[in-house]
Amino acid sequence: MGVGDQAGERWAAAARANVPPFHVMDMIDAASRRAATGAPVFALHSGQPATGAPEAVRAEATRLLASGDPLGYTPAVGIPELRAAIAEHYGAWYDVDVSPDEVVVTTGASGGFLLAFLAAFEPGDVVAMARPNYACYRNVLMALGCRVVELPTGPETRFQPTVDQLAGVRGLRGVLLASAANPTGTMLLPGELAEIVAWCEEHGVQVISDEIYHGLEYAGTPATRLSRTTWSTSRRPVVFGSFSKYFSMTGWRLGWMLAPAHLRRAVEVLTGNFTICPPALGQRAAVQAFSATAGAELDGHVARYAANRRLMLSRLVDMGITRLAPADGAFYVWADVGHLTSDTLAWSHRLLADTGVAVAAGVDFDTEQGHRFVRMSFAGDPGEIAAGLDALAAYV
Ligand SMILES: Cc1ncc(COP(=O)(O)O)c(C=O)c1O
């Protein structure tokens, strides 16, 4: 080997950074390039609300900016007012008593994943999750040297894992639960969630519970809500929440973690080292996201998602796309389009080019069967969704 080859090896990214790409980013890119030419785009690919932050949050951010407040660093784990508001939110929504000391504000749930995984797992630890799943869990765990075990799931368990599956994983150290999940939108029923959490506690398995889609569910009335925070069963899991989805604040990059006592100090030290603190302006303004006026505005968004969801499910069935995951929550429909293509990645780019309809190919979420699936979001503008479904119906 020559000197040049050695130098070539030296100036390369570390092997652990070699995680799979998130293909939906290419779709976002292709859709915006098409939109820039003036051609129509019907955005069903992106998991974010078309609306902005609640009015009360925006007003507070505007006030703070105008006041000349220096908006300096905050405590690493977040400002006390926001941690208190988040803690109260658990009382209001779930009747669960959470102390502000147990809340860590993070830069989106995404920023929190890195903290939780580092705090909870050693390199080589086996961490299980359902397949399909949200690719970033897998990719971040892999970059940290953990061994990811995917548990194949299907409609018979609403695409959620079971205790039997977990019991079959040798050397299991951790499990990722997501209810409602991305990409399927399916939820664990309260009894199923409690059963998994109890089993994990008994077997020393660290649960990481992604609850960032709470508030977005369609199966029942508020009184019969399926969403239960994992902390209503046990205080050992790490629980994630976010301002991105129900609160309609994706780009503000704010989320939170309920940190169990055994991880709290490690998380606090890590977060101070990584980012010093989450963005100060967002934290200060986000306190208003829990106000009554913001709640009324946000529940209006949920009513719109529910109408979008009804339209999307019925239109898809009408056009012969009938194998759909039960879209209990979040704002996604996970559709098997295996009768139309065996390569949804290429198909979705052709669909965009021919019709302007943008969907997310399943390969990001399901490493085995994703080539038959697409994920469609109903978080967007109702008119755009209806027009996109018309174009899709004409295409298929
Ligand atoms: C299941 C799931 N968890 C976490 C995230 C990231 O959320 P955040 O914007 O809070 O980082 C997403 C984003 O789409 C998601 O779908």
Return left, alpha or beta for 124; rule: phi > 0 is left, psi -120 to 50 is alpha, else beta. left
Position 44 confidence tier, pLDDT thresholds 50, 70, 90 = very high
C-alpha of residue 286 to centroid of ligand 1, in Å: 17
Alpha-carbon distance of 209 to 160, in angstroms, equals 13
pTM, two decimals, is 0.94
User: Residue 2's pLDDT band (boundaries 50, 70, 90)?
Assistant: very low
Q: Domains along the chain?
A: 3-52+294-395 (3.40.640.10), 55-291 (3.40.640.10)
Closest CA to 93 of 183, 216, 237, 191: 216
Answer yes or no: is the C-beta of 244 below 6 A from any ligand 1 atom: yes
Residue 245 and residue 289: Cα distance in Å, rounded? 12
Mean pLDDT of the chain: 94
Distance (Å) from CA 215 to ligand 1 centroid: 14
298 lines ligand 1 (CB under 6 A): no
Segment 323-327 mean pLDDT:
93
Q: How far is the CA of 109 from the centre of ligand 1 (A)?
A: 6
C-alpha distances (whole Å) from 5 to each of 2, 12, 18 are 5, 11, 20
User: Is any ligand 1 atom within 6 A of the Cβ of residue 47?
Assistant: yes
| Residues 71 and 280: beta-carbon distance below 8 Å | yes
Whether ligand 1 lies within 6 angstroms of the CB of 282 is answered as no
pLDDT digits (tens, 9 = 90+) for 146-159: 999 999 999 999 99
Give pLDDT, residue 364.
93
What mean pLDDT is predicted for residues 299-306? 95
Helix or strand holding residue 66 (H, E): helix 55-67
Separation of CA 212 and ligand 1 centre (Å): 7
pLDDT band at 1 (very low <50, low <70, confident <90, very high): very low
Distances (CA, A) of 363 to 6, 263, 299: 35, 33, 32
Question: Which residues have a Cβ under 8 Å from the Cβ of 371 and sit 6 or more positions away?
Answer: 342, 343, 344, 345, 361, 362, 363
What pLDDT is stored for residue 5 in this prediction?
A: 55
At 87 the three-state DSSP class reads: helix
Cβ neighbors of 303 (< 8 A, separation 6 or more) are none
Atom of ligand 1 at shortest distance to CA of 47?
Answer: 14
